[in-house]
């Protein structure tokens, strides 16, 4: 049996599948696979499974590949890049990689928070520009995090780790806004469930950890930034489209908020001339939330297990379209 991966995947996944007589072919080009290339390859009749890393899988692709592909295994926790309804209607089970990346992603949010608070990337750039001595005792200062209020938008498992890190390191108070309360956060973090407006008004650091859905798309917009503290820092390690990026640029330029740390942007990749990259109180990373050796290894293992289960007609371990099992192909 053969499966196709839209990027190179870790060796452990290939070894696991190889031991089960499944061969993985990969897209090895530096440039991301296009829709046409993907459709052509996957409809060649050689492949029965598809690993998806980042690529957008829309209804058109699903329709094209449905005769060949029995399972789609995503190497990400987010699944906003796939038309899940189309996959379900086509009878294709789809899995993601939850939990195994909680720590790495929360650590990235924490890293960005500290980075922005002390203008770390900006100060690094100053050294490179031979401007080490350019500041006086009272200019180019950062902000303290000790005892501040962390607001979490979308407190799930990743947000919970971010809350724990911030409490442990800086004794931060944790408030959050979700569709429903998170009893674990209430108990372990003594977190307070608040309205969206209260979250905006009270957060010193506001960290986004929600999924991208129609309801969360560009929820952080111009009107929202006006309600945040002028001294606040926005952190986004979820999805770029949760934030209206032009509105964020304006809010920073008008000093409506103090800073921003982004591991995700809209679009991705961010263009090198984006004004955010020049701002002293902004730190941007190229979507590396889960990019540690161990985390990627664990994501690959889980994705490979899902692939094997799917190809042998079994229920996927971490399925995201459960209803596929009640629909006949
Ligand atoms: C990364 O962004 C993921 O969804 O795993």
Q: Which string of b and e fits 145-184 if b means at least 16 CB within 10 Å? A: beebbbbbbbbbbbbbbbbbbbbeebebbbbbbbeeebee
Q: Please identify which residue in the block is written with the tokens 């993985």.
A: 24
pLDDT under 50 in the chain at which residues? none
- 302 neighbors 102 (Cβ within 8 angstroms): no
- Among protein residues, the one with the nearest Cα to ligand 1's atom 1 is 76
- What pTM value is reported for the model? 0.97
Residue 245 appears among annotated catalytic residues: no
Is-same-fold flag (2-99+292-326; 102-284)?
A: yes
- Domain-wise residue ranges, the chain: 2-99+292-326, 102-284
Q: Name the token pair of 274.
A: 């984006």
| 221-266 pLDDT, tens digit each | 999 999 999 999 999 999 999 999 999 999 999 999 999 999 999 9
Residue 268 appears among annotated catalytic residues: yes
Burial status of residue 21 (CB atoms within 10 A of its CB: 0-12, 13-18, 19 or more): exposed
Q: Is residue 320 in contact with ligand 1, taking CB distance under 6 Å? A: no
- Among protein residues, the one with the nearest Cα to ligand 1's atom 4 is 78
Residue 296 appears among annotated catalytic residues: no
Burial status of residue 50 (CB atoms within 10 A of its CB: 0-12, 13-18, 19 or more): buried
Query: How many alpha carbons lie under 13 Å from residue 226 in its C-beta half-sphere?
Result: 3
Helix (H) or strand (E) holding 186: helix 183-188
Q: Is residue 318 in contact with ligand 1, taking CB distance under 6 Å? A: no
pLDDT of residue 31: 95
> Distance (Å, rounded) from C-alpha 225 to C-alpha 234?
9
Give the CA distances from residue 291 to residues 16, 64, 77, 125, 157, in Å, rounded to whole numbers and listed in that order: 21, 31, 13, 23, 18
Length of the chain: 329
> Distance (Å, rounded) from C-alpha 174 to C-alpha 166?
8
Give the CA distances from residue 273 to residues 58, 116, 172, 177, 269, in Å, rounded to whole numbers and listed in that order: 30, 20, 35, 34, 12
Q: Please identify which residue in the block is written with the tokens 């679009």.
A: 267
- 153 neighbors 179 (Cβ within 8 angstroms): no
Which ligand 1 atom is nearest residue 74's CA?
5
> Distance (Å, rounded) from C-alpha 257 to C-alpha 60?
41
| 79-128 pLDDT, tens digit each | 999 999 999 999 999 999 999 999 999 999 999 999 999 999 999 999 99
Q: Is residue 101 in contact with ligand 1, taking CB distance under 6 Å? A: yes
pLDDT of residue 329: 52
**Domain 2-99+292-326 in this protein, CATH class:** alpha beta
Q: CA nearest 213: which of 74, 80, 55? A: 80
Q: Which of 177, 209, 239, 298 is catalytic?
A: 239
Q: Which CATH architecture has domain 102-284?
A: 3-Layer(aba) Sandwich (3.40)
Count of other CB atoms within 10 angstroms of residue 78: 17
- Among protein residues, the one with the nearest Cα to ligand 1's atom 3 is 76
pLDDT of residue 133: 85
> Distance (Å, rounded) from C-alpha 9 to C-alpha 296?
9
Q: Name the token pair of 57.
A: 């899988």
Q: Which of 60, 85, 181, 268 is catalytic?
A: 268
pLDDT of residue 134: 81
pLDDT of residue 40: 96
Burial status of residue 232 (CB atoms within 10 A of its CB: 0-12, 13-18, 19 or more): buried
pLDDT of residue 328: 57
Specify which residues 176 forms β-bridges with: 152, 193
């Amino acid at each position: 049996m053969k499966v196709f991966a839209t990027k190179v995947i870790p060796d452990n996944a290939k070894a696991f599948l190889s031991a089960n007589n499944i061969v993985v072919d990969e897209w090895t080009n530096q440039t991301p696979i296009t829709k046409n290339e993907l459709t052509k390859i996957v409809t060649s009749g050689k492949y029965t499974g598809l690993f998806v890393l980042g690529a957008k899988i829309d209804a058109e692709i699903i329709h094209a590949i449905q005769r060949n592909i029995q399972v789609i295994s995503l190497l990400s926790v987010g699944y906003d890049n796939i038309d899940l309804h189309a996959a379900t209607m086509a009878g294709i089970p789809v899995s993601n990689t939850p939990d195994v990346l909680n720590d790495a992603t929360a650590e990235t949010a924490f890293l960005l928070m500290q980075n922005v608070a002390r203008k770390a990337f900006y100060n690094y750039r100053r050294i490179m520009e031979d401007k080490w001595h350019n500041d006086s005792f009272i200019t180019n200062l950062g902000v303290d995090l000790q005892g501040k209020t962390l607001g979490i938008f979308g407190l799930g498992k990743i947000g919970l780790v971010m809350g724990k890190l911030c409490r442990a390191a800086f004794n931060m108070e944790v408030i959050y806004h979700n569709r429903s309360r998170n009893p674990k956060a209430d108990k372990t973090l003594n977190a307070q469930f608040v309205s969206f407006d209260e979250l905006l008004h009270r957060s010193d650091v506001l960290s986004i950890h929600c999924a991208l859905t129609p309801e969360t798309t560009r929820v952080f917009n111009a009107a929202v930034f006006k309600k945040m503290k002028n001294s606040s820092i926005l952190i986004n390690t979820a999805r770029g489209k949760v934030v209206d990026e032009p509105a964020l640029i304006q809010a920073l330029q008008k000093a409506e908020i103090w800073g921003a740390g982004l591991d995700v942007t809209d679009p991705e990749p961010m263009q090198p001339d984006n004004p955010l990259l020049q701002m002293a109180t902004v730190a941007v990373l190229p979507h590396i939330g889960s990019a540690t050796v161990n985390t990627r290894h664990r994501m690959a293992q889980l994705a490979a297990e899902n692939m094997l289960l799917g190809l042998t007609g079994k229920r996927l371990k971490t399925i995201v379209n459960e209803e596929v099992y009640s629909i006949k192909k």
